Structure 1
Amino acid sequence: MKIIDAHQHFWDITSNYLPWLCDAEPLPNFRYGDYSALRRNYMPADYRRDSEGFEVIGGVFVETEWDPGDPLGEIAWVKNLAAREALPSVAVGQAWLDRGDAPELLAAYGADGFLRGIRHKPRAVGRPEAVEPGAPGSMGDPAWRRGFRHLAPNGLSFDLQTPWWHLAEARQLADDHGDTVIILNHTGLPSDRSPEGLKGWREALALFAGAPNTLIKISGIGVPGSAWPVEANRPVVLDAIELFGTGRAMFASNFPVDSLVATYREIYSGFDRITGSLTASEREDLFWRTAAEVYRVPLEQPASKAAE
């Protein structure tokens, strides 16, 4: 099976400033716990070692929380990397939609043929009952929405990373901006695997999936302290596919972040096992075709070989 990895990261923390990896104080409440193992350079050669044995034909670089004062610097760096290494194929850049410079930044991204969209993690709370509609920095914040309006005119999609209990806000955003493709990252973060938690996640996901301009990346579903659990992840993967359909769903590794909870082989072999009963065409959607279409990934040159 060919693979377009719909969510991958590269970084060189010896040359560039990524606060969460470079600062001495770690992020609190990181969803996989201790992430000190990520405080090292991760480049295409490392990714190719991790993905050895798989036919990776392309990859989507997603912003890495690079220095927020220099988002264009990350794109210049990753474009140079791609020219040398033939990975990544395209990129999703960093943007802070509620900042005053958002319109200018999004215009610059739209003029760059390597960029396909942006990611901005809107303000989120830690539990469903704490959601405050319209809170500053959230998807309902008027200032945030003013920035969001500049995506479609610049030909940019939006990668949304938020816990599932904010998906009602996301559905309203999708309804109000039907001209903008919204791609939910990491399966809506179903970290609570209790029956009640999964019920709430599925209901929120179904609401969000009801908007035709929404898609989902099935990724980021590792369970801390356990090897990538196929049986525990099976209902999460199959529910997401059922709600969105294979034409609006795609698999991704989230490497190297998900290397904290699984090997690349465990993740993609798990996807393979879980979807074994689907048709060949449906599986192609999930493993590469949906990502190729939504991110307009050029397929002329295989990404499995570095550029000469």
Structure 2
Amino acid sequence: MREEEILDPALPIVDAHHHLWDRPGARYLLDDLLRDTGSGHDLRATVYVQARSMLRAEGPEEHRSLGETEFANGIAAASASGLYGPVRACAAIVGMVDLMLGDGVVPVLERHLRAAGARFRGVRNQTAWHASPEISSNPVPPRPGLLSEPAFRGGAARLAEHGLSLDVWAYHTQLGEVLDLARALPGLTLVLDHCGGPLGAGLYAGQRAEVLADWGGRMRLLAGCPNVVVKLGGLGMAVGGFGFEKGALPPSSEELAAAWHPYLDTCVDAFGAARCMFESNFPVDKGSTGYAVLWNAFKRFAAPASPGERTHLFAGTAIRTYRLPPLTAG
């Protein structure tokens, strides 16, 4: 584990994307999250995102993901008690509701809203797909072309009617589908996860310049849709091809900031700071770096930005997108 002095420790942060789970050989629950959020940065709140965690073992298939929403809401309630420190974990919840239900999604959405109340802010389905078996980031492979299915779009349209957003995890090769979806549903806030998934593994290993150009062009087109915001992070996954998870030593924040700068910079340049938010994507990105070093890397990247821009990137955009309470004084 690499240790670094915490940069700008008084900067308030909302972690816009993390998971919790208890799987064979992989446990990351509230205690684990709190060890990370308590590592020196001023973490104020977090956003829990769908991860097929704590699904109900019984009942109709479309209702099993209620277990995950109930679980995340329980974690949020425990954190909100103040017994576990100042951070408000899972202050917003992005759950799983199968949008292929089309109009039939409405009663299921209403059950999730009853389960988590004002904390339930959005939905994410499993959509990151590539034909190559070398490119996979989901334990359960999604079906191809889901974002273009009429039923999926019908279900997504119901989200906006309930004041909910749609998180989308897609590889850069799918950004055309994401663009079509954003244009088809201009009233829906679409949150693009993990910088829009620039690939660097498998077929794309050794093609970083080509991917950067292709991905960057697609991201600029997406930025033309005012209903799209983007999460900056997720670049520590193996599909990104940076290889930090293979190193003998964890990378420094300087190394991370340098490697990721072209992608973060393209996103902020295209979308503007007010439509970008930093995310940890923990525990997934934990394989590449520690929590404190990750946020140091983001702070190094954002150092030239204005105070207002840094506020957007580290907290403001997440607060607006997921309608979180205003930050209290630290």
- TM-score, length of structure 1 as denominator length: 0.82
1:113 corresponds in structure 2 to: 118
Shift of 1:124: 2.5
User: Structure 1, residues 236-273: CA drift from partner, whole Å, max 9, x if none?
Assistant: 11111101100000001011111011111221111111
- Contact 1:2-1:56 at 8 Å conserved across structures: yes
Aligned-partner Cα distance in 2 for 1:113–1:163: 30
User: Structure 1, residues 45-69: CA drift from partner, whole Å, max 9, x if none?
Assistant: 2122123101111110001123383
- Contact 1:10-1:43 at 8 Å conserved across structures: yes
Structure 2 unaligned blocks of 5 or more: 1-10, 81-88, 133-142, 201-206, 237-241
- Contact 2:273-2:313 at 8 Å conserved across structures: yes
Amino acid at match of 1:270: A
1:94 corresponds in structure 2 to: 96
RMSD: 2.1
2:161 corresponds in structure 1 to: 153
2:176 corresponds in structure 1 to: 168
For 1:260-271, list aligned pairs within 5 A: 260-271=287-298
Q: Does 1:80 align with 2:74?
A: yes
What is the percent sequence identity of the aligned residues? Answer: 31
Shift of 1:137: 5.0
Shift of 1:300: 6.0
For 1:1-308, list aligned pairs within 5 A: 1-11=11-21, 13=22, 21-22=23-24, 39-51=25-37, 52-66=39-53, 67=55, 69=61, 70-86=64-80, 87-99=89-101, 101-110=104-113, 112-122=117-127, 124-126=129-131, 137-192=145-200, 194-222=208-236, 223-224=242-243, 225-226=246-247, 227=251, 229-299=256-326
User: Structure 1, residues 98-126: CA drift from partner, whole Å, max 9, x if none?
Assistant: 13652321233345321000001236324
Secondary structure of the residue aligned to 1:113 is helix
Secondary structure of the residue aligned to 1:99 is helix
Higher relative helix content: 2
- Contact 1:60-1:91 at 8 Å conserved across structures: yes
Deviating more after overlay: 288-297 vs 84-93: 84-93
**Cα distance 1:126–1:233, how it changes in 2: closer, same or farther (>3 A)?**
farther
Aligned residues: 272
Segments ≥4 residues shifted beyond 6 Å: none
1:16 corresponds in structure 2 to: none
Amino acid at match of 2:124: R
- Contact 1:90-1:114 at 8 Å conserved across structures: yes
Q: Which of structures 1 and 2 has the larger relative contact order (alpha carbons within 8 angstroms, sep 6+)?
A: 1
Aligned-partner Cα distance in 1 for 2:128–2:257: 31
